[in-house]
C-alpha cells in the first residue's frame, strides 16, 4: 500500500476509516476571528474568564516595543489555529490596558516583563510562561493545557494509535495512521518520524529515503526525524553486516581484541533487533579501548540510542552502563 504524504493540491485529506467505526461528521471549523482576537479591560471578563469555563483561553500579553513579542505572537497564532478551535487566543497590548495590567499584577500575575503568556481554564490561571519560545515548546504548552481540560490536539489520538501499532509490529497499519496524521498536520515531526520507521519496518528503505527528502526543512533536525534518519542509516549498514555475522564471530573467537570485528558484530546485532547484544558489544570496546578508531564505538552507540529512541528500554539500560564506564 502507498502511504499518502502531506496534502495534495485540490484534494481534501480523509483519514482511513477503521473497520466497524461509525462515520462521524466533523464540526465546522471556527473562523479565525472566533479563535484569535484582541482583548482589553472591557472584554477581559467575557472573553477570558467567562469563556474559559467552556474552552481553554491563552492570553498573550505583549507590547509594540517588545522584540521577542514579534517572534512569539505569530507562533502562538499558528499553533492555536492548528488546534482547530479547541483553544482560543486573546492578545492584550499592555500599554493600552495599563489599568487591567495593574489589577492582574495585584492578583499575582507576573506582568513586569513581556511577552507573558497565561493559560486560563475554568476561570483560573492554569499555567504561564515568559519570553519567546520555539514552536515546539508552545505546542507542548498548549497540549498540556488541552490535556488538563480533557482534550487533545488534532492528530494526537492518531499518533498515539499509530505508535501503539508500530510497537506491536503492525507496521502497515502504523504507516496508514501516520500518513493520516500528516494529512492533518503536514509539519508534525512525530508523524514524519513514525512514517519513516514504519517504512523501515516494512523493508521499504527506498521509499523511506524518498519520504526523508520530503520532510519540511524547519523540522529536519527534530529529535524524531534525527532518530529515524539514524535508523535508516543503520539499516543500510546492517544489511551488509548481517551477511558476515559468522565471520565476525569467528574472528572474535580467534582474537577477542579484534575491535573492528566486534564493532561490525554490533551493527549486525542491531539490524537483527538484538539491541542489548549490540549495545554490549560496543560497550566492551569502550571498556577495552575507548580511544579505538577515534572513539568510534561510543559514537556508534550514541547513534543506536538516537535510532532506538531515548526512552527505549535498551537505550536506558545501555546508557547506564556507558555512564558507569565513563565515570568510574
From 132, 134, 139, select the one nearest 188 (Cα to Cα): 139
Q: What are phi and psi of 101, to 5 degrees?
A: -60, -45
Dihedral of the alpha carbons of 58, 59, 65, 67, in degrees to the nearest 10: -20
Q: What are phi and psi of 152, to 5 degrees?
A: -145, 160
Q: How many other CB atoms are there within 10 angstroms of residue 145's CB atom?
A: 21
Residue of 66, 159, 198, 232 with catalytic role: 66
User: In whole angstroms, what separates CA 302 from the centre of its chain?
Assistant: 19
Q: CA distances (Å), 192 to each of 97, 177, 185, 257, in order?
A: 43, 11, 10, 41
Q: Cβ-count burial of 46 within 10 angstroms (0-12 exposed, 13-18 middle, 19+ buried)? A: exposed
Residue pair 51/44 in contact (Cβ under 8 Å)? The answer is: no
Residue of 35, 48, 57, 69 with catalytic role: 69
Q: Is 69 a known active-site residue?
A: yes
Which sequence positions are flagged as catalytic?
Answer: 66, 69
Amino acid at each position: 500500500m502507498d502511504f499518502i504524504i502531506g496534502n495534495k493540491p485540490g484534494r481534501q485529506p480523509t483519514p482511513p476509516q477503521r473497520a466497524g467505526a461509525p462515520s462521524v461528521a466533523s464540526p465546522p471549523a471556527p473562523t479565525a476571528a472566533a479563535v484569535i482576537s484582541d482583548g482589553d479591560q472591557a472584554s477581559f471578563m467575557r472573553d477570558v474568564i467567562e469563556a474559559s469555563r467552556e474552552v481553554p483561553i491563552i492570553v498573550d500579553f505583549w507590547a509594540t516595543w517588545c522584540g521577542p513579542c514579534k517572534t512569539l505572537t505569530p507562533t502562538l497564532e499558528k499553533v492555536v489555529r492548528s488546534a482547530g478551535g479547541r483553544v482560543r487566543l486573546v492578545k492584550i497590548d499592555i500599554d493600552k490596558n495599563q489599568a487591567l495590567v495593574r489589577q492582574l499584577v495585584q492578583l499575582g500575575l507576573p506582568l513586569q516583563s513581556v511577552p507573558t503568556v497565561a493559560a486560563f481554564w475554568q476561570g483560573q490561571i492554569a499555567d504561564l510562561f515568559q519570553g519567546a519560545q520555539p514552536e515546539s515548546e508552545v505546542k507542548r504548552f498548549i497540549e498540556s493545557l488541552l490535556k488538563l481540560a480533557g482534550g487533545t490536539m488534532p492528530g494526537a489520538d492518531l499518533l498515539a494509535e499509530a505508535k501503539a501499532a508500530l510497537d506491536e509490529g503492525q507496521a502497515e497499519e502504523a504507516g496508514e495512521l501516520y500518513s493520516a496524521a500528516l494529512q492533518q498536520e503536514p509539519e508534525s515531526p512525530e508523524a514524519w518520524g513514525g512514517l519513516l520507521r514504519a517504512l523501515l519496518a516494512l523493508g521499504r528503505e527506498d521509499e523511506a529515503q524518498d519520504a526523508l527528502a520530503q520532510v519540511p526543512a524547519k523540522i529536519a533536525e527534530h529529535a524524531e526525524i534525527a532518530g529515524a534518519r539514524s535508523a535508516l542509516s543503520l539499516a543500510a549498514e546492517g544489511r551488509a553486516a548481517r551477511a558476515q555475522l559468522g565471520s565476525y564471530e569467528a574472528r572474535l573467537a580467534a582474537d577477542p581484541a579484534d575491535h573492528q570485528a566486534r564493532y561490525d558484530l554490533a551493527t549486525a546485532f542491531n539490524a537483527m533487533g538484538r539491541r542489548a547484544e549490540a549495545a554490549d558489544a560496543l560497550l566492551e570496546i569502550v571498556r577495552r579501548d575507548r580511544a579505538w578508531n577515534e572513539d568510534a564505538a561510543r559514537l556508534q552507540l550514541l547513534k543506536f540510542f538516537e535510532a532506538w529512541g531515548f526512552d527505549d528500554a535498551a537505550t536506558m539500560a545501555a546508557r547506564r552502563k556507558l555512564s558507569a564506564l565513563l565515570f568510574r
